[in-house]
């Protein structure tokens, strides 16, 4: 069966809990999944390590990576670049690990266009009110920030139907297992197992005689 890894893009509303969800998925199944580490030109924040949170590179280095085609997607926010190094992703997929990228919709759709086998997952709370309640509940955000997050959520919701699956984050434990089950299921898609199908057909023909 399909032993090659699947490239998985996870997006979702700010406040949907996708960070926690992915951390937990990786912790439970460390041999199954690999988290892609992005390259960025922004300065490391306290506690961030090069190669763990990000690969921290200069603007020059980043632009060389773009020119050499070493990024499978990149974007520029304000004055900083963010991108996904191709090399790490491809090596992990070859090893049979599913590689998870956490990026926003524009990046997600451009990756899907380039690599149609990419699996797009969208993490959402069970309802819009819940999203607002979580942001308010954090207690660390001003109402202005919450308002701008809700505005942003409206924009983020625009592309929801372009994702393959919705991951409804109501309870962490259930949700991690559901995400895992969805990805395991994807490995059983006929479209991902053309070689297996070809082999069984040939062997059946052979055994007829």
Residue numbers at the binding site for a second copy (CB under 8 A): 1, 122, 124, 126-129, 131-132, 147, 150-151, 153-154, 157-158, 160-168, 178, 181-182, 184-186, 188-191, 193-194, 196-197, 199-201, 203-208
Task: Please report how close the Cβ of residue 14 comes to a second copy at its closest, in angstroms.
Answer: 12
CB of 165 to a second copy, least distance (A): 5
Measured CA angle at 167 (ends 100, 74), to 5 deg:
35
User: Which residue lies nearer to a second copy by CB, 114 or 127?
Assistant: 127
Closer residue to a second copy (CB): 23 or 199: 199
* Angle in degrees, 0-180, between the axes of helices 143-157 and 128-138, rounded to the nearest 10: 150
Q: CB of residue 98 vs a second copy: minimum separation in angstroms?
A: 14
Distance in Å, CB of 199 to a second copy, minimum: 8
Residue 54 or 163 having the CB closest to a second copy: 163
Contact 35, 119 (CB under 8 A): no
Q: Which residue has the tokens 């990419």?
A: 118
Smallest distance from a second copy to CB 28, Å: 15
R_g over Cα of the chain: 19
Contact yes or no for 70/86 (Cβ under 8 A): yes
Helix (H) or strand (E) holding 63: helix 59-67
Provide, rounded to whole angstroms, the least separation between the CB of residue 120 and a second copy.
Answer: 9
Whole-angstrom Cα distance, residue 168 to residue 16?
9
- Nearer to a second copy by Cβ, of 60 and 205: the residue is 205
DSSP state letters, 2-37: --S--EEEEEE-TTS-HHHHHHHHHHH-TTTEEEPP
Residue whose CB is less far from a second copy, 27 or 181:
181
């Amino acid at each position: 069966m399909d032993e090659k890894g699947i490239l998985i893009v996870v997006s979702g509303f700010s406040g949907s809990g996708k960070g926690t969800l992915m951390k937990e998925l990786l912790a439970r199944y460390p041999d199954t999944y690999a988290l892609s580490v992005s390259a960025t030109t922004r300065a490391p924040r306290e506690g961030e390590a090069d190669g763990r949170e990000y690969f921290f590179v200069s603007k020059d280095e980043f632009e060389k990576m773009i020119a050499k085609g070493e990024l499978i997607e990149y974007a520029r926010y304000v004055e900083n670049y963010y991108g996904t190094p191709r090399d790490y992703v491809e090596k992990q997929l070859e090893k049979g690990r599913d590689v998870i990228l956490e990026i926003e919709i524009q990046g997600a759709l451009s990756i899907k266009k380039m690599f149609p086998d990419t699996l797009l997952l969208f993490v959402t709370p069970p309802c819009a009110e819940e999203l607002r309640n979580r942001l308010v509940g954090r207690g660390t955000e001003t109402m202005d920030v919450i308002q701008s997050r809700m505005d942003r959520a409206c924009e983020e919701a625009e592309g929801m139907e372009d994702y393959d699956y919705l991951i409804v984050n109501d309870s962490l434990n259930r949700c991690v297992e559901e995400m895992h089950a969805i990805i395991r299921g994807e490995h059983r898609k006929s479209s991902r197992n053309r070689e297996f199908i070809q082999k069984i057909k040939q062997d059946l023909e052979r055994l007829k005689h």
